[in-house]
Amino acid sequence: QVRLQESGPGLVKPSETLSLTCTVSGGSVSSGTYYWSWIRQPPGKGLEWIGYIYYSGTTNYNPSLKSRVTISLDTSKNQFSLRLSSVTAADTAVYYCARGIPILLWGQGTLVTVSS
């Protein structure tokens, strides 16, 4: 079956750029009509949608993060990625990659801590 796996640094310094990758196994990021999303959850808090990229490459971002977010698709590696610039401690969270809206498939999540 299709599985999603997040990867990337668990610690990022303030003002730097957070970069995460979601590897899709058992399926293709370019097949079907899926929205590939990033969602985050600060410790002890609720879910926050960051943005998505459509299989065609179209993106849509959370307005509150739009100026700092880039989501891209790498069909050759069957991955999609998140870049969040100028991070602060408020960006510390578990970051999930996910497929579809509604979301039937989630990655396990990866904790990213912003700290010097």
Partner 1 sequence: SYVLTQPPSVSVAPGKTARITCGGNNIGSKSVHWYQQKPGQAPVLVIYFDSDRPSGIPERFSGSNSGNTATLTISRVEAGDEVDYYCQVWDSRNDPVVFGGGTKLTVL
| Residues lying near partner 1 in the complex (CB under 8 A) | 37, 39, 46-49, 52, 54, 58, 60-64, 96, 101-104, 106-109
Least gap, CB of 94 to partner 1 (angstroms): 9
Residue 23 sits at the vertex; the CA angle it makes with 62 and 21, to the nearest 5 degrees, is 50
Pairing of strands 59-61, 110-114: unpaired
Least gap, CB of 102 to partner 1 (angstroms): 4
Contact assessment for residue 60 and residue 52, using Cβ atoms and an 8 Å cutoff: yes
Least gap, CB of 99 to partner 1 (angstroms): 11
66-79 burial, b at 16+ Cβ within 10 Å, e below that, comes to eebbbbebeeeebb
Least gap, CB of 79 to partner 1 (angstroms): 18
Which of residues 67 and 76 has its CB atom nearest to partner 1 in the complex? Answer: 67
Cβ-proximal residues to 21 (8 Å cutoff; 6+ apart), any chain: 6, 7, 8, 79, 80, 81, 82
